[in-house]
Amino acid sequence: MTTYGRYPITFIRGKGSWLWDNDGNRYLDFTSGIAVTNLGHSHPAIIKALREQSKKLATVCNLFHIEEQADLAELLIKNSFADKVFFCNSGAEANEGAIKLARKWGGANGGRYKIISAKGSFHGRTLGALSSTGQREYQKGFRPLLKGFKFVPYGETDPIRRAIRDEKTCAVILEPIQGENGVIVPPDDYLKKVRELCTNNNILLILDEIQVGLGRTGRLYAYEHSAIVPDIMTLAKALGGGIPCGAVLANDGVSISFTPGSHGSTLGGNPLAMRTGSAVLKAILDNGLLDNSSKLGDYFNNRLKYIENKFSSLINEARGKGLILGLEFRRKEIAKEAVNKCIAKGLLTILTVEKVMRILPPLTVNKYEIDFAINKLEETLEEVQYA
């Protein structure tokens, strides 16, 4: 179906940060499948996990115990705030699960069901996740949406303080950084203040770490920068390294609300995805990729600041954290032309909110690849500026 506006390119092979099309052209992939291939393409740990597990067992009914599922759950719990994990297949499914869990908890705690979300947020395209998304353009044609969501400005705490006065509020759902909205980084104390509001009012804090989690910001989870913990967290994208895999993580006090039959997934937590997820998480933790994301993220951000200053007539701002970066252009026409010209020169990035170039390198990126990207970007903007 015509759900994607595709570029006229067909990729057939990938290695590390690079992709090759069916004509043999090479491209530097700084989309990472929209933050999916955090280990790059064809990573040996992922290949090994897929080969070994596919010979044993790909899937089995969730009515039985699954060893690989327990292994990944243990890894996630050991390396997060959580006590329990529910596995699914995607980010939208993870957020659907988080919404259901929050409402199940809220129902048992005063009949509460309303959830506060942020304007500009993106939580997925299924109906519940879409209802919690604060961007009207994604919701056009799909109304009526799920009721019970209130939207407040992102990065501000006073609107949340006012909104939670509604006695039916059970949760706040936020992205630590808004990726789809153009890489919007909130004030440093934002999440800490929201955490305090939620705690003081007995309201759950749900963090959607689907795009920024698993090392992209230089920490395993973006919430770690704020020295807080959520009550519920959602993961997907990078968790499977290219194999569909999502997860809802929660503490014991919340997760107890899910009882047998209250939620489920036919393919969620299948052995193939779980084995791959464990391989991804171990590679991120054991191979210095968090440090690489932090150090090279700073390096890349500084290089983008140079681009911002040199082409100030075209660019409003370079921003980001770790390896989720954005260049906001002054006009959407310039942004579209820049993204298209970069693709023609062999650099893949993502155009979002019409005028932001979103840049998502794999965590395995090196300085040569960043410099290659900066050179291609500089060439592109020279052409755009003097066209």
CB contact set of 272 (below 8 Å; sequence gap of 6+): 50, 53, 54, 57, 58, 59, 243
208 a catalytic residue: yes
Question: What distance lies between CA 317 and its chain's CA centroid?
Answer: 22
d(CA 238, CA 73): 16
Omega before 230 within 30 of 0, i.e. cis:
no
Give me the residue label for tokens 């509001």. Answer: 197
Buried b (16+ CB within 10 A) or exposed e, 334-343: bbebbbebbb
122 a catalytic residue: yes
Give me the catalytic one of 122, 151, 258, 300: 122
d(CA 182, CA 357): 8
Give me the catalytic one of 104, 193, 237, 341: 237
Give me the catalytic one of 81, 87, 149, 208: 208
Residues marked active site are found at 122, 208, 237
